[in-house]
Amino acid sequence: MCGIVGIVSSSRVAPKLVRSLLNLEYRGYDSCGLAVCNNGVIDVRKDKGPVKQVSEILKFNEMNGMIGIGHTRWATTGAVTRENAHPHASNQGEFALVHNGIISNYRDLRQMLESKDYQFLSDTDTEVLVHLIDFHFRSSGDLEESIRRMSRDLDGTFAFAVISVHDPNHIYAARRESPLIIGLGINENYIGSDYNAILDYTRNVIPVKDGEYVVIDREAVSIRNLLSGEKITRDIVTLDWDPELSQKGGYPHYMLKEIHEQPSTVESALKVDIEKINLVCDWILNADRVYLLGVGTTYYVAECVQYYCALLSGRHLIAVSSDEFEYIAQLSDRSLVLAFSQSGETYDTLTALRYAKKFGARTAAIINVMGSTMVSETDLAIMQQSGPEICVLSTKAAVAQITIAIRIALELGRRSGHLTGSDYDSHLKSLAALPGMIRRVINESKGFVNNLAQQTQSYRNWLFIGRGIYSAIAREAALKMKEVTYHHAEGVSGGFMKHGTIALIDKSFGSIFFLPPRSSIELFQHTIANAEEIKSRDGFIVGFGFGERVGIFNHEINLQDSDQISAPVLLLVLGQMFAYYSAVILKRNVDRPRSLAKSVTVA
Amino acid sequence: MKAVILTAGPGTRLEPLTECRPKALISICGKTILARLIESLQQIGIHDTAVVVNPKYSSMDYDCSDSNDLKSPSLTILTQDQSLGVGQGILTAKEFIDERDFFLLAYGDIMYSGNLFRALIHSFNRVRKPVAAVSLTGDSSDFGVIYMDHDMRITQIIEKPRSKNLGNYILAGAFILPGSFFRILADCSGNVIEAFRVMQDSMDMYASIWEGDWIDIAYPWSILAANRIHMKQWDRSSFAITTIIEPGSMISGPVYIEDNVTIKTGSSIIGPCYIGKNSFIGHNALLREYTCIGEGSIIGFGVEVKNSVLMPGSEIGRLSFIGDSVIGHDVNVGSATIMVNINMDQSTVHVDIAGESIDSGLLKLGSFIGDKTWIGANHTFLPGTKIASGMSIPHFGTYPKE
C-alpha cells in the first residue's frame, strides 16, 4: 500500500505536502516524491528512502507552486528504485500522477501504449495511468473525460491523483477500492489516502466512495461517478480526533505510546453506544450461523472473542481468518459475519465481507478508522473510537476490539439466560475496572518486562503457550514478538504442544507460559504441567501469571490477582510490552518493522 | 540554560575506590564521569555549569584530576557546607540560578550511552514544564519510582519502594527544573522527593523516557557496568600513530590505543579494550573483552586481564590474573597474583558494603583495590575482596632469607 496526498492552495504547497508525507509514512516508506506545478511546468522530485532524508537531499521545501501532489511508496509492482518512485510524469511532462493500488492488466496496457510510442521509464503498474491519461487527452482534449475513459480501461484497484499543465488550478483524483478522502480548508483543499494526510490542516473531510472521481480547486470540490459522470452530493464529516494525538507525544516510539494509551482506549470502548451492541446481539440471536472475521492480529482478536462468547453466552461463534473465508464459509441470507479491522481497509476482510454479501448475509464490523471503505460497505459499523494507531503493530486497537466484543458476549449471555443477573453484574463490574487494571500493569510491571527482555535477548526461538482463551492470547503475543523482533515465536495451545511442537525444545529455545489466575485451578494446573514438560527437556521457561510465585520457572512475572474477564487482556498487555522491549534492546525499527505495512490493502 | 551537577555525595558504598577521590572523578576509558557529563552538556549548548563538591576532598584533589575537568573557565565550583544529602547539595547552588529561569540538574554519578541530556531537553521543549529523565533498571528498590499518565505527566513518585512488586520507570538523576524549585525545596526542608511531589501538584512534572543504557554508579561493580556501557557504543578501533605493536601480537574487535603505547610480542588484545597513553603491555599478555587500562600502566609478562577497570598508574606483575575487578590509581600488584572471580558453588558473589553483605547478583566478580596500595607477590584473592587505599601487603609464602 502507499500514501497519496494532493493540495491546492493560494500559497506555496510544498512544505505542507512534506508534512503530509511525514504523517503518511506509515502507509509506505520505501520511497517518496512530490510533483508541483508552477508557471506551466511540473517539477517532479522523487527518490527511494525515508521522507525526511529524500526531502532534505532534493530540497522539497524549496519547490514553488500552489498546486501539488505527493506520494509515499510501499513497493508492490517494481523494485524500490528512484525510477519506480511516484509521482510519474507523462513523456512531455504535461501530467504527473500518484497512485495507490494495483493495476492487474497493466502489461497489456503497457504493450498497447508502447506500440503508440510511449516511453516507459519505470517497472511500475502506475506509469500506464499517466500515459493513458495523456493518450486519451490527445483525442478528447478534456481531462475529466480522459480520466473517465482511462478508468474504463483499468482492471484492478486504484486511488490516484493527477495534476496537469493544461489545467493548473485543479487536482483530479479517483478511487476504486483503494481509500481516498477529500479535506476542506480555507482557501485550500486537499485529497489524501486517509485523514493522516491532512490532519495538520483541517478536521473537515468528505469520504470518496468506490467508483467516484473528484475535482478540487482551492475553493470548491466536486464528486462524480466515474461511469456516468453524474454529480454526487455528500455531507461533510467533522473528525473529532486531536492532531496532537497523532504525534508521538514525547514517547520514543508510537508503539510504547499506544501501549500506554490502552487504558483510555478501553474506556472509549466501554462508552460505545449500547444500542449498537444490542443490535449485533439481535442479529447474532437470529442468525443461523455467525462468523467472526479478522486477519493477522484481528484474527486473534476473533479467536479471543470466540472464547469469551463460549464462556459468557454459551455460544460457539466461528472465527475464520479472512483470507481463508471463501474456501470454508457456508453462507445463507440468515448468516451473520462480524468483522474486525483497525483500518477498515483490510483487503482480505473486505473481500470476505463482499463474498458474504453475495449470499445475502448480514455484515457488521468493529472498525477504528472513520470514513473507511468498510464503514460504508457493512450493514452495521461499530466505531471503536481508539484514535489513530500509527505503529504498524496493532496494540490499543486490538485491545479495544476485544473490549467491545466482551460487551457483546455479556449482553448475549444475559439475554439468552446463560448468565444469572448477579454474574452479569459482577462481570460488568470487572469490565468497568479493566482500564485501571491495565494502567496498573503498565505502571508497575514494565521494569520487570524490560529485565526479562534484557536477559532473553539471545533467544531467537520462542514458544508462547496457553490453554483456553490464553492460547489465543499466546498466539497474538507471539505475533507481536515476531512482527517487531524478527525472532521466531509460535503461539500454541498447551495440549497441542506435546503432539509435535515439543520436539523443537532444547536449551536454546525459550517458552513463555500464559497462566490463568488460580481461580481457574484446572486450567492453571494443566498449564503448569506443560511447563514442567518443557523444563524437563532443558527448555528455558518464563511464566506470565497472577498472584504468588509458582517457583518452577526460570523467570516469572506475576500480576496482582485478577478475574477471568480481565486476566487474558492483562497478560496480552504483558506480551505487548515484552515484544516492545525485546525489539528496543535488539535495536529494531519498532514502529515500522521490515516488510510490514499498517493496513494491508492489497491481495 | 545553566546546569548544576551534584558530586558531593560521600560515595561510601563505593569504597575503597572513593577513599581518595569523589566518585564523579572515577576515570573510565581515559575520562572521568564528571568530564563525560560536562561533555554531554556542552553538546546541547550548555556551557555555564556549576559543580557542587564535597569539602572532604580539597580543591587540590580536583586539580589532580587527570582530565582537568574543573579547570574549565566556565565551571563554577560550589562547596557544600556539610554533607547532608542531595537536597542540601542542590540548595548550595541557589545563588547560581535565577529564580525565573529553568535549569538542568544532574547527579554526578550517572553513566549512559549516547546523550541523555539531549533527550531531556527535547522533552522539555515539548511541554515547557519541569521534566525528569526516567529509565528502567533491574531493581527499582533503590530509586524513586514514578507512575505516569499516557501523556507522560508524572502522577505519583514513590521513594525507594519496599514492595518487590513494583517495576516501573525510575528517576534517572537528570532533571530540568524551574528556579522556584529552590524555594519549594527549602520549604520541604531539603527533602527532594517531597519537593518533587509539591511541584508535581502545583505545576505538573513530565517524564522524559530514556531507553538507552543507563546506570547509577552506586556500588564498586557498577564501575564495570559503566565501562561496558561506554565500550558497547564503539563501532571502530583507534590507534595513536605512536603505538608500537611488536610482531606476533594479535588485536581484534574495537580497541582504543592512546599515545606512546608499546605492545610486546605474543600479546593478544580482544576488544572492546582501552589502553591509556604511555602504557606498556608486556610479552604474552592477554587482554580480553571490556578491559580498560588507565594511562601510564605497566602490564607484565603473561598477565591476563578480563572485564576489569585499571585506573591510571597500575602495575601488574608477571603471570597475574585480573578478572571482573577494579584497580585504583597507582596500585602495584605483585607477580602471580590471582583475583579469583567465581565462587566454588557457583553462587552469586556477595560484597561487604558499609558493614553489610550485599548480593551483587553477579556470578563472576573479582576484587576492588584502593589507590596507592602495594600488593606483594603470589596472593590469591577471593571473589568480592576489597582492599583499602594505601595498604602494603607483604609477599606471600616466602622462604625466610636467613
Q: How far apart are the first and last CA of chain A?
A: 10
Assigned domain for B297 exists: yes
Q: What is the CA radius of gyration of chain B?
A: 22
Mean pLDDT of all residues in chain A?
Answer: 91
Residues of B in contact with A443 (CB under 8 A): 147-148, 168
Confidence of residue A401 (pLDDT cuts 50, 70, 90): very high
Confidence of residue B59 (pLDDT cuts 50, 70, 90): low
Please state, in angstroms and rounded to a whole number, the distance separating the CA atoms of residues A429 and B88.
49
Residues B208 and B250 in one domain: no
Predicted local confidence at residue A199, as pLDDT: 82
Mean pLDDT of all residues in chain B?
Answer: 89
| Residues linked to residue A184 through DSSP beta bridges, in sequence order | A189
Asked if the C-beta of B140 comes within 8 angstroms of chain A's C-beta atoms, the answer is yes
> What's the total number of domains in chain B?
2
Average pLDDT, stretch A24-30?
A: 75
Average pLDDT, stretch A74-95?
A: 88
Look at A249 and B151 and tell me if their CB atoms are within 8 Å.
yes
For residue B303, the domain's CATH number is 2.160.10.10
Q: Which of A48, A257, A276, A598 is catalytic?
A: A598
Boundary (domain end) residue, out of B166, B195, B218: B218
Q: Give the containing element (helix H, strand E) for B41.
A: helix B33-43
Q: Which of A306, A366, A359 is nearest to A334 (CA)?
A: A359
List, for residues A58-79, the tens digit of each pLDDT value: 999 999 999 999 999 877 677 7
Residues B190 and B244 in one domain: no
The answer, yes or no, to whether residue A261 has pLDDT greater than 60, is: yes
Q: Which residue, among A268, A444, A546, would best test binding to B if mutated, counting the most B CBs under 10 Å from its CB?
A: A444
The answer, yes or no, to whether residue A339 has pLDDT greater than 60, is: yes
Look at A257 and B150 and tell me if their CB atoms are within 8 Å.
yes
Predicted local confidence at residue A541, as pLDDT: 95
Residues B206 and B249 in one domain: no
Residues B74 and B162 in one domain: yes
Q: Distance (Å) from the C-alpha of residue B265 to the closest C-alpha of chain A? A: 36
Please state, in angstroms and rounded to a whole number, the distance separating the CA atoms of residues A275 and A296.
29
Pairing type for strands A41-48 and A67-73 reads: unpaired
Look at B167 and A263 and tell me if their CB atoms are within 8 Å.
no
Look at A443 and B137 and tell me if their CB atoms are within 8 Å.
no
Using alpha carbons only, give the angle B222, B227, B229 rounded to the nearest 5 degrees. Answer: 95
Boundary (domain end) residue, out of B196, B218, B240: B218
Concatenated DSSP letters for A247-300?
S-TT-S-HHHHHHHTHHHHHHHHHTS-HHHHHHHHHHHHH-SEEEEEE-THHHH
Annotation marks residue A309 as catalytic: no
Q: What is the number of H-type helices and E-type strands within chain A?
A: 18, 25
Look at B168 and A263 and tell me if their CB atoms are within 8 Å.
no
Please state, in angstroms and rounded to a whole number, the distance separating the CA atoms of residues A161 and A70.
9
Assigned domain for B389 exists: yes
Question: What was the ipTM of the complex prediction?
Answer: 0.78
Residues of B in contact with A560 (CB under 8 A): 165
| Residues linked to residue B170 through DSSP beta bridges, in sequence order | B135, B145
Could you tell me what percent of chain A has a pLDDT over 90? 75
Asked if the C-beta of A359 comes within 8 angstroms of chain B's C-beta atoms, the answer is no
**Owning domain of residue B90:** 2-218
The answer, yes or no, to whether residue A15 has pLDDT greater than 90, is: yes
The answer, yes or no, to whether residue B66 has pLDDT greater than 50, is: no
- With 0-12 CB in 10 A as exposed, 13-18 as middle and 19+ as buried, what is A327? exposed
| The CATH classification of domain A247-419, taken from the options 3.40.50.10490, 3.30.70.2660, 1.10.10.10, 3.40.630.40 | 3.40.50.10490
Look at A250 and B137 and tell me if their CB atoms are within 8 Å.
no
Q: How far apart are the first and last CA of chain B?
A: 70
List, for residues A120-150, the tens digit of each pLDDT value: 999 999 999 999 999 999 999 999 999 999 9
Pairing type for strands B206-209 and B27-28 reads: unpaired
3-state DSSP assignment of residue A333: coil
Residue written as grid cell 473465508: A325
Q: Give the containing element (helix H, strand E) for B103.
A: strand B102-107
Boundary (domain end) residue, out of B163, B191, B218: B218
Residues B274 and B148 in one domain: no
Residues sharing a CB contact under 8 Å with residue B269, sequence separation 6 or more, in sequence order? B249, B250, B251, B252, B255, B263, B275, B281, B287
Q: Which of A2, A37, A304, A391 is catalytic?
A: A2
Confidence of residue B77 (pLDDT cuts 50, 70, 90): confident
The answer, yes or no, to whether residue A376 has pLDDT greater than 90, is: no
Average pLDDT, stretch B124-131?
A: 83
List, for residues B183-210, the tens digit of each pLDDT value: 999 999 889 999 999 998 888 899 999 9
List, for residues B326-379, the tens digit of each pLDDT value: 999 999 999 999 999 999 999 999 999 988 999 998 999 999 999 999 999 999
Least confident of A510-514, A523-527, A576-580, B128-132: B128-132
The answer, yes or no, to whether residue B63 has pLDDT greater than 50, is: no
List, for residues B22-43, the tens digit of each pLDDT value: 889 999 999 999 999 999 998 8
Predicted local confidence at residue A102, as pLDDT: 85
Average pLDDT, stretch A28-55?
A: 90
- Stretch(es) of chain A classified as CATH 3.40.50.10490: 247-419, 444-593
- With 0-12 CB in 10 A as exposed, 13-18 as middle and 19+ as buried, what is B347? exposed
Annotation marks residue A482 as catalytic: no
Asked if the C-beta of B171 comes within 8 angstroms of chain A's C-beta atoms, the answer is no
Assigned domain for B402 exists: no
**In the CATH scheme, what architecture does the domain A444-593 have?**
3-Layer(aba) Sandwich (3.40)
Dig out the grid coordinates for B94 from the structure.
541557589
Assigned domain for B337 exists: yes
DSSP code of B253?
S
The answer, yes or no, to whether residue A241 has pLDDT greater than 90, is: no
Assigned domain for B360 exists: yes
Q: Which residue, among A248, A251, A259, would best test binding to B if mutated, counting the most B CBs under 10 Å from its CB?
A: A251
Say which CATH superfamily domain A3-239 falls into: Aminohydrolase, N-terminal nucleophile (Ntn) domain (3.60.20.10)
Look at A448 and B211 and tell me if their CB atoms are within 8 Å.
no
Interface size, chain A vs chain B, as Cβ–Cβ contacts under 8 Å: 54
Q: Which of A123, A184, A172, A117 is nearest to A146 (CA)?
A: A172
Q: Give the containing element (helix H, strand E) for A509.
A: strand A509-514
Residues B204 and B237 in one domain: no
Residue written as grid cell 468498510: A374
Least confident of A176-180, A437-441, B258-262: A176-180
Q: Give the containing element (helix H, strand E) for A138.
A: helix A127-140
Average pLDDT, stretch A396-402?
A: 96
Residues B25 and B89 in one domain: yes
Could you tell me what percent of chain A has a pLDDT over 70? 97
For residue B71, the domain's CATH number is 3.90.550.10
Predicted local confidence at residue A245, as pLDDT: 43
Write the CA distances from A182 to A32, A69, B14, B199, integer angstroms: 21, 13, 64, 46
Look at B166 and A250 and tell me if their CB atoms are within 8 Å.
no
Nearest chain B residue to A249 by CA: give it.
B151
Please state, in angstroms and rounded to a whole number, the distance separating the CA atoms of residues A171 and A178.
18
Residues B79 and B178 in one domain: yes
Beta carbons of B377 and B396 less than 8 angstroms apart = yes
DSSP code of B154?
E
Asked if the C-beta of A447 comes within 8 angstroms of chain B's C-beta atoms, the answer is yes
